[in-house]
Amino acid sequence: IKVMAGVVAPDEGTMTLDGREVSFASPAAANQAGIVCIFQELSLIPELSVADNIVIFDPPKRFGMIDRKAQRRIAEEALARAGASDIHPCALVKD
């Protein structure tokens, strides 16, 4: 799962998506291809927001800073795909 989501680099083998060989260098790259991995609660950081936790491995940046607007959009899209649109991306995970 982590290899498919771009979190971990593969040791060997190949992946195909829609008949094409793919590899993802980051979770953002996997996300652009429509693959999102929502980790179990135990791996989340409770003091951060839902959006922070979703993009933690590859936050969107603008001018060298985290792009909060893009981060929220990415989180909203990921939550919608996971059927969790009722979760607010700015809410703290511990809440």
Full pLDDT tens readout for the chain, 95 residues: 889 888 888 899 999 999 999 999 988 899 889 888 876 666 788 999 999 999 988 899 999 999 999 999 999 999 999 999 999 999 999 99
Using DSSP, state whether 20 is helix, strand or coil. Answer: strand
pLDDT score recorded for residue 38: 75
For 26, 30, 59, the CA distances from 66, given in Å and listed in that order, are: 16, 19, 6
- The candidate with the shortest Cα–Cα distance to 28, out of 51, 49, 7, is 7
Residue found under tokens 């971990």: 8
Q: What is the pTM of this model?
A: 0.58
pLDDT score recorded for residue 42: 65
pLDDT score recorded for residue 84: 96
